[in-house]
C-alpha cells in the first residue's frame, strides 16, 4: 500500500457497515468492492475483514489499519486544504453535533456567522439530546456540556458554565425555601434525562463538605427547554445549567436556591478526534467559537 486510495476504500467499508452499503456509497457494484478488498488483502498478505452473510467484522489488523490510516488521511487532507486555504480561503465541509437547547440558542448563530464569513465552507449542524452517544466518526466537532466520560476525543474549552438549583416564586409560596440540600428530598423536583447519567442524584459542595441527595421526580424530560418551562410554571425544582436559567433568574421568573452550595460545574467544551492534523476549517472554526464566548459568555454579561 503506497497511497491513500486503499485506506480511504477501507474506511468507506467501516463507515458503511456492510460491503453492499459501501458499494452504494462508492458507486461500485458489490462484486467490485469484494474483488478490491480481496486484492488489498493479497497485497498486504493479511486478512482485514471477516465477512459472513449476516455480519462484517474487522480483524485486529484491519481495525489497526483503519485507526492509523484515518489519522494519515486526515493529515494528508489537512495539508492540501491548508495549501488551498492560502490561495482562496477556507473550503470543505464541517459536520457539527451539539445539544438541543444550547445548540439552538447559542451555537446556531455562531455557525451561521462563520459560514457567512467563509462561504467556501459547508456546515451541517445536528442537534441531539445525547451528542456523545452518536457515532463519533460522523462528526468533525462534538459540542458537549458537563463532565466528559472516558473518551479518545480531544477537548477544547469553550465557556464556563455553572449549574443552579431553581424554583419559581409560585412554588416557593407553597413550600419553604430549603436551607440544605437534604431538604430538596421533600420538594417536588423535575429532572433532565441526558447522557445516561443518574439524573435524580444531585450532588453539592460547600467548602470541604459534600452532599448527595436523591430527589423525588414526578416529571422528567430529555429536553431542557421543557423542564425550564415547567419550573417557571411552578411545577417543580430543577437543577439546570447557568446558560439556560440566567435570564429567568434575572427577570424573576425563577429564584436560585441554596446559593451557598455549589453543584458540579458543566463547562462547555468542543471535542475533535485528533489534536494534530486537523483541517484548516476545523481549526479556524474552533478559534472562532472560543472567541465568541470571550471575555465572558453571554449568560454572564
In the chain the domains, ranked by start, together with CATH numbers, are 4-82 (1.10.10.10), 89-161+267-300 (3.40.190.10), 163-263 (3.40.190.290)
The sheet carrying 163-167 orders its strands as: 238-241, 163-167, 255-257
Are the CB atoms for 96 and 115 separated by under 8 Å? no
Running DSSP on this structure, what letter comes out for residue 237?
B
Q: Is residue 38 within 8 Å of 46, Cβ to Cβ?
A: no
CA–CA distance, 145 with 268 (Å, rounded to integer): 5
The answer to whether residue 2 scores a pLDDT higher than 60 is no
C-alpha grid cell for residue 197? 447519567
Rg of the chain over CA atoms, in angstroms?
Answer: 24
Per-residue pLDDT of 42-52, as tens digits, reads 888 888 888 76
Q: What is the pTM of this model?
A: 0.70
DSSP 8-class letter at 18 = S
Is 6's pLDDT higher than 90?
Answer: no
Residues contacting residue 12 through CB under 8 Å, at least 6 positions apart = 22, 25, 26
Cβ pair 23, 33 in contact under 8 A:
yes
Tens of pLDDT along 141-195? 999 998 877 677 888 999 999 999 999 999 999 998 999 999 999 999 999 987 6
The angle subtended at Cα 219 by Cα 215 and Cα 222, nearest 5°, is 100
Which single residue is written with the C-alpha cell 427577570?
251
Q: What are phi and psi of 163, to 5 degrees?
A: -125, 135
Percent of all residues in the chain with a pLDDT value above 70, rounded to a whole number = 91
Amino acid at each position: 500500500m503506497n497511497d491513500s486510495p486503499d485506506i480511504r476504500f477501507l474506511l468507506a467499508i467501516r463507515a458503511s457497515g456492510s460491503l453492499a452499503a459501501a458499494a452504494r456509497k462508492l458507486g461500485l457494484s458489490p462484486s467490485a468492492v469484494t474483488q478490491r478488498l480481496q486484492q488489498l488483502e493479497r497485497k498486504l498478505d493479511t486478512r482485514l475483514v471477516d465477512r459472513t452473510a449476516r455480519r462484517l467484522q474487522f480483524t485486529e489488523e484491519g481495525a489497526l489499519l483503519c485507526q492509523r490510516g484515518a489519522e494519515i488521511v486526515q493529515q494528508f487532507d489537512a495539508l492540501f486544504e491548508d495549501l488551498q486555504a492560502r490561495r482562496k480561503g477556507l473550503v470543505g465541509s464541517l459536520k457539527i453535533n451539539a445539544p438541543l437547547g444550547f445548540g439552538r440558542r447559542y451555537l446556531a448563530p455562531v455557525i451561521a456567522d462563520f459560514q457567512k464569513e467563509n462561504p467556501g465552507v459547508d456546515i451541517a449542524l445536528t442537534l441531539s439530546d445525547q451528542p456523545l452517544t452518536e457515532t463519533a466518526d460522523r462528526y468533525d466537532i462534538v459540542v458537549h456540556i458537563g463532565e466528559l466520560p472516558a473518551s479518545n476525543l480531544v477537548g477544547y474549552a469553550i465557556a464556563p458554565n455553572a449549574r443552579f438549583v431553581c424554583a419559581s416564586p409560585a412554588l416557593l409560596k407553597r413550600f419553604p425555601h430549603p436551607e440544605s440540600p437534604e431538604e430538596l428530598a421533600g420538594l417536588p423536583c423535575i429532572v433532565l434525562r441526558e447522557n445516561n447519567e443518574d439524573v435524580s442524584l444531585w450532588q453539592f459542595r460547600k467548602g470541604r463538605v459534600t452532599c448527595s441527595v436523591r430527589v423525588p421526580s414526578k416529571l422528567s424530560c430529555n429536553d431542557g427547554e421543557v423542564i425550564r418551562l415547567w419550573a417557571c410554571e411552578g411545577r417543580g425544582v430543577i437543577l439546570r445549567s447557568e446558560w439556560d436559567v440566567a435570564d429567568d433568574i434575572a427577570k424573576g421568573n425563577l429564584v436560585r436556591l441554596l446559593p451557598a452550595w455549589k453543584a458540579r460545574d458543566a463547562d462547555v467544551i468542543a471535542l475533535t478526534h485528533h489534536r494534530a492534523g486537523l483541517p484548516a476549517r476545523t481549526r479556524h472554526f474552533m478559534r472562532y467559537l472560543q472567541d465568541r464566548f470571550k471575555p465572558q459568555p453571554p449568560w454572564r454579561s
